[in-house]
């Protein structure tokens, strides 16, 4: 078992492809009585009340996504700013009553509204919060204290001493509870967990910028060290990403006083009566764990190639503020056939394509089907993330194709534009090992989450979409030869009755 045995990721990807035949030959009945709860609940862990009167960031969402804040020792992080970031990333924003059941919707989109992502906070220098490890509970907007003490050295050591972690005021740890998503999507849900971590990160990183705080996303770390800290087993819950928030004065790497490997005193409630384990999912999770600092260093070195950052809205209107955008965001269930302005599409693509401050290089390319965009001929396009230019691949009305590729969902037919994030999986895996399989889905989730926010910031709608893998690759050939579709996001205006 090793990150370098990239046959594991290749096998998993092939085994979890959707095709016209596969969705018909392998139907899945949802077991509603065994539906997992969308929250991790620690009934006995001491609660920490979080401030409720949150003054969410008013800077334009497009600006918050354009570039990050450089780390500096003067950054301040207090409990209110931390709460704003947590709320914008994963807060409970809407409730809907359906029959006897109340459904909760969260700040970031999640495939199937299953919310597999949890956030933990390792606080080391947060005004108003004692150093310790906490779990964020979105349902009642509280933290639950899991362990006292400072753990940033333990975490930084697990990530080969990455400077942002050594100096972080707080480290947010995102994990995936696989069963929540696997309940509906079975083994393929491994991909969805990283998409969902990506949409959470799109919000989280923008919220940090909105609070003038630096944020560094880290995906190369020795998994077992972070799992031990959180008390999770990598089978049911695995670590998705670390984010260093803010910075103290330059600090040296040392040992923490508290022992991060001691068991946690508190138990979480079961998610449902039973849990189904999908062996292919367990296997790819295990094969993409990094087991040593040598493996972490090999990957971090590959990440030196920095991405493009800093391109803004490109002359479009500044659009809504970030807080307002996050509160209004939702999945557009039915699109009108309206054309959106070409300048808005360009601003959305520019916001989406910025590479975040992180430890892996840009992995995804951006393709597009334009159904109805003012000033842009209907057709299939490649969008160059560096030059921010669209290149026409073939002109024509591809509404029917777009609908088909989105698993025959009308959203593809009806939207104004369908973005398809694609990647050269072979190259990604050769460079980053199986860990690259996680990174590529995480990156697509971030880029897709940003496109979604940008579209709402400009007064339009958006939704994510799954797809027929090989048919989507074929549609964008020959330009996309050798690339695999990773995620789709549809953009457009809501239909009147949506």
Ligand X SMILES: Cc1cc2nc3c(=O)[nH]c(=O)nc-3n(C[C@H](O)[C@H](O)[C@H](O)COP(=O)(O)O)c2cc1C
SS3 label, residue 417: strand
CB-based contact 206:163 (threshold 8 Å): no
Q: Cα–Cα distance between 375 and 395 in angstroms, integer?
A: 13
**Residue 16 interacting with ligand X (CB under 6 A):** no
Q: Cα–Cα distance between 236 and 487 in angstroms, integer?
A: 24
Shortest distance in whole angstroms from residue 410 CB to ligand X = 9
Nearest to 188 by CA among 35, 26, 431, 37: 26
State which of residues 45, 86, 109, 126 lies at the interface with ligand X (CB under 6 A): 109
Shortest distance in whole angstroms from residue 423 CB to ligand X = 15
State which of residues 361, 403, 464, 492 lies at the interface with ligand X (CB under 6 A): 464
Shortest distance in whole angstroms from residue 109 CB to ligand X = 3
Tell me which stretch binds ligand X (CB under 6 A): 55-63, 107-115, 132-140, 470-478. Answer: 107-115
**Residue 111 interacting with ligand X (CB under 6 A):** yes
Q: Contacts with ligand X: how many residues (CB under 6 A)?
A: 17
Residue 294 CA to its chain's centroid (Å): 26
CA dihedral 287, 293, 299, 305 (to 10 degrees): 160
Shortest distance in whole angstroms from residue 180 CB to ligand X = 13
State which of residues 23, 41, 78, 112 lies at the interface with ligand X (CB under 6 A): 112
Q: Cα–Cα distance between 128 and 207 in angstroms, integer?
A: 19
Q: Which is nearer to ligand X, 79 or 141 (CB)?
A: 141
State which of residues 137, 466, 483, 492 lies at the interface with ligand X (CB under 6 A): 466
Q: Which is nearer to ligand X, 196 or 439 (CB)?
A: 196
Q: Cα–Cα distance between 19 and 458 in angstroms, integer?
A: 34
Nearest to 469 by CA among 445, 485, 488, 489: 485
Helix (H) or strand (E) holding 324: helix 322-328
CB-based contact 338:346 (threshold 8 Å): no
**Residue 176 interacting with ligand X (CB under 6 A):** no
Residue 255 CA to its chain's centroid (Å): 31
Q: Cα–Cα distance between 82 and 67 in angstroms, integer?
A: 19
**Residue 330 interacting with ligand X (CB under 6 A):** yes
**Residue 87 interacting with ligand X (CB under 6 A):** no
Nearest to 45 by CA among 127, 140, 143, 159: 143
CB-based contact 440:190 (threshold 8 Å): no
State which of residues 336, 409, 413, 434 lies at the interface with ligand X (CB under 6 A): 409
**Residue 465 interacting with ligand X (CB under 6 A):** yes
Residues 361-390 that bind ligand X (CB under 6 A): none
State which of residues 23, 37, 113, 495 lies at the interface with ligand X (CB under 6 A): 113
Other C-beta atoms closer than 10 Å to the C-beta of 78 total 14
Tell me which stretch binds ligand X (CB under 6 A): 110-118, 268-276, 360-368, 423-431. Answer: 110-118
CA dihedral 30, 119, 491, 444 (to 10 degrees): -90
Task: Return the half-sphere exposure (C-beta side, CA atoms, 13 A cut-off) of residue 80.
Answer: 9
State which of residues 204, 331, 453, 480 lies at the interface with ligand X (CB under 6 A): 331
Tell me which stretch binds ligand X (CB under 6 A): 140-148, 167-175, 378-386, 460-468. Answer: 460-468
**Residue 68 interacting with ligand X (CB under 6 A):** no
Q: Which is nearer to ligand X, 93 or 300 (CB)?
A: 93
Q: Which is nearer to ligand X, 333 or 427 (CB)?
A: 333
Q: Which residue is nearest to ligand X (CB)?
A: 464
- Binding positions for ligand X, rule: CB under 6 A: 105, 109-113, 195-196, 199, 330-331, 409, 411, 463-466
């Amino acid at each position: 078992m090793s990150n370098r045995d990239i046959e594991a990721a290749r096998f998993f990807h092939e085994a979890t492809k959707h095709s016209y035949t596969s969705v018909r030959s392998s139907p899945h009945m949802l077991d509603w009585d065994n539906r997992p709860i969308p929250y991790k609940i620690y009934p006995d862990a001491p609660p920490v009340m979080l401030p409720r009167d949150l003054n969410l960031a008013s800077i334009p969402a497009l600006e918050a996504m354009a570039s990050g804040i450089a780390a500096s020792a003067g950054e301040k992080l207090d409990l209110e700013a931390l709460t704003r970031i947590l709320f914008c990333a994963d807060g409970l924003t809407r409730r809907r009553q359906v029959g006897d059941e109340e459904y909760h919707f969260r700040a970031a989109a999640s495939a199937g509204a299953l919310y597999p992502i949890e956030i933990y906070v390792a606080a080391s220098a947060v005004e108003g919060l004692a150093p310790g490890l906490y779990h964020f509970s979105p349902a009642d907007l509280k933290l639950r204290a899991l362990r006292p003490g400072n753990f940033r050295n333990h975490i930084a050591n697990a990530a080969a001493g990455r400077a942002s972690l050594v100096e972080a005021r707080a480290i947010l740890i995102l994990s995936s509870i696989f069963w929540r998503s696997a309940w509906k999507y079975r083994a393929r849900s491994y991909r969805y967990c990283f998409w969902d971590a990506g949409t959470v990160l799109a919000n989280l990183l923008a919220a940090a910028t909105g609070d003038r705080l630096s944020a560094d996303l880290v995906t190369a770390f020795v998994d077992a060290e972070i799992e031990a800290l959180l008390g999770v087993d990598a089978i049911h819950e695995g670590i998705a990403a670390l984010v260093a928030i803010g910075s103290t004065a330059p600090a040296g790497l040392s040992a923490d006083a508290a022992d991060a490997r001691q068991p946690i005193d508190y138990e979480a409630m079961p998610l449902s009566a039973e849990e189904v384990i999908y062996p292919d999912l367990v296997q790819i999770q295990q094969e993409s764990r990094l087991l040593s600092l040598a493996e972490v260093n090999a990957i971090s070195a590959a990440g030196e190639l920095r991405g493009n950052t800093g391109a803004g809205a490109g002359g479009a209107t500044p659009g809504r503020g970030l807080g307002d955008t996050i509160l209004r965001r939702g999945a557009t269930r039915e699109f009108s056939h309206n054309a959106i302005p070409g300048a808005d599409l360009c601003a959305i693509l520019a916001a989406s394509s910025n590479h975040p401050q992180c430890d892996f290089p840009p992995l995804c390319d951006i393709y597009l089907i334009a159904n109805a965009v003012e000033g842009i001929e209907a057709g299939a396009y490649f969008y160059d993330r560096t030059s921010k230019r669209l290149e026409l691949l073939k002109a024509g009305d591809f509404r029917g194709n777009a609908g088909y590729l989105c698993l025959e969902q009308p959203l593809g037919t009806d939207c104004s534009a369908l973005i398809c994030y694609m990647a050269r999986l072979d190259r990604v895996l050769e460079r980053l090992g199986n860990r690259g399989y996680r990174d590529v889905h995480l990156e697509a989730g971030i880029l897709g989450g940003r496109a979604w926010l940008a579209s709402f910031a400009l007064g339009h709608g958006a939704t994510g979409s799954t797809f027929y893998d090989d048919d989507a690759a074929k549609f964008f050939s020959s330009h996309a030869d050798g690339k695999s579709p990773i995620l789709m996001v549809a953009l457009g205006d809501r239909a009147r009755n949506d």
